Amino acid sequence: MYKALTVALGLSLAATGTLAEAPGEKLPGTASANYQWNAPGGEASQALRLAGDVKAGQEDYTAYCAACHRPNGGGDPDGSIPKLAGQHPSVVVKQLADIRSGLRDNPTMLPFAVQLRDAQALANVAAYIATLCIPRESGIYQAPDAANLVAYGRKLYDKDCSQCHQPNGYGVNEKLYPVIAGQHYPYLLRQMIEIRDGKRRNTHPDMVRVISKYQDAELVAIAAYQSTLATQAQRLTLQPRFCNPS
């Protein structure tokens, strides 16, 4: 039943989330209650105040991001590379700033993230990524038990996740809550396991609190349901952010 869990756990680790270090604090290996999430100041705050130039952002995205995340921002369905297309600008800015400052551990991304010139370049790339339509062909959970598992995952998601990530998985740009609709199942699962296990040190403390109670099987169910949100949006005709069927 949980074969996909084993596959996902075998993927290389990657971090995503939003946290800023409070002034004067040394960041340890895991999150601490002493941290002020999304504290003001620093490059992220600068970039979030700037209007992004989509054309300039496309140039930087093509140069530094497209090779891994693909020109359409779709990432890799096996979960090794996340989908970026349609992500909120605030989320992209914060993630890039966290990587550049060392608040988010991502050695694979770091060499590319540091190529961006300044806070304006972060705002530009984020503005361009937001224009990319969300691919519907994401890495959806596929197994004989998929229907039952997705139904169970929906109950858990509605109870503990939908308030922040929204019932449709669109998140909230103003609060830096990411779009998860259309994201790949293995990536979603890996991130939740890392948050629960204290390996993602730049995560919103509310999410750490909520997810800490879940066992692997429950996280598999939640990720399985989350991976279907783009397909559900298509059925519900919530289509402006989604790519037209090919």
pLDDT one-digit tens code per residue, 11-22: 322 323 332 333
| Structural domain contains residue 219 | yes
* Residue 75 resides in a domain: yes
Residue 3 domain flag: no
**Residues of the chain with pLDDT > 70: what percent?**
80
- The shares of helix, strand and coil residues in the chain, as percent rounded to the nearest 5, are 50, 0, 50
The answer to whether residue 62 sits within a structural domain is yes
Query: Does some domain include residue 88?
Result: yes
Q: Kindly state whether residues 107 and 164 are assigned to the same domain.
A: no
Distance CA 229, CA 136 (A): 9
Domain boundary pick from 98, 131, 164: 131
Is residue 17 within 8 A of residue 200, CB to CB? The reply is yes
Contact 73, 242 (CB under 8 A): no
Percent of the residues in the chain that have a pLDDT greater than 90, as a whole number: 65
Backbone Cα Rg of the chain: 17
Shared-domain flag, residues 181 and 106 = no
Distance of CA 96 to the CA centre of its chain: 12
Tens of pLDDT, residues 13-62: 232 333 233 333 333 333 444 456 777 788 999 999 999 999 999 999 99
Express each pLDDT in 153-191 by its tens digit: 999 999 999 999 999 999 999 999 999 988 999 999 999
pLDDT at 72: 94
Q: Is the pLDDT of residue 243 over 90?
A: no
Say what the pLDDT of residue 45 is: 94
Q: What is the mean pLDDT of residues 129-144?
A: 87
pLDDT of residue 74: 93
What average pLDDT does range 68-95 have in this prediction?
A: 94
Q: What are the structure tokens assigned to 81, written together? A: 């590379």
Looking at 72, 103, 131, the residue that finishes a domain is: 131
Pair 127, 150 in one domain: no
Domain span including residue 107? 40-131
3-state secondary structure (DSSP) of residue 4:
helix
**How does residue 240 score in pLDDT terms, banded at 50, 70 and 90?**
low
For the segment 84-100, what is each residue's pLDDT rounded down to a tens digit?
999 999 999 999 999 99
What is the distance between the alpha carbons of residues 62 and 70, in angstroms, rounded to a whole number? 9
CATH of the domain at 151: 1.10.760.10
Is position 32 within any domain? Answer: no
Tokens 């693909």, residue?
Answer: 70
CB-based contacts of 17, cutoff 8 Å, min separation 6: 95, 98, 104, 191, 195, 200, 202, 203, 204, 207
Residue 111 lies in a domain: yes
Q: How far is CA 90 from the centre of its chain?
A: 12
Supply the pLDDT for residue 41. 81
Q: Are residues 108 and 168 in the same domain?
A: no
pTM: 0.82
113: which 2 tokens? 């993230």
Nearest one of 13, 30, 32, 5 to 200, comparing CA atoms = 30
Q: How far apart are CA 231 and CA 212, in angstroms?
A: 28
Residue 126 and residue 160 share a domain: no
Given this model, what pLDDT does residue 36 score? 65
Is the predicted pLDDT of residue 113 greater than 80, yes or no?
Answer: yes
158, 212: one domain: yes
Whether 102 and 159 share a structural domain: no
Sheet strands (E) in the chain: none
Enter the DSSP assignment of 51. P
At position 139, the amino acid (one-letter code) is G
Number of domain units in the chain: 2
Q: Look at residue 88 in the predicted model and tell me its pLDDT.
A: 95
Closest by CA position to 241, among listed 139, 153, 163, 168: 168
Q: How far apart are CA 165 and CA 150, in angstroms?
A: 17
Q: Is residue 167 part of a domain?
A: yes
DSSP letter for each residue of 148-194: HHHHHHHHHHHHHTHHHH-TTS--BGGGTBPP-TT--HHHHHHHHHH
Residue 116 near residue 64, CB atoms below 8 Å: yes
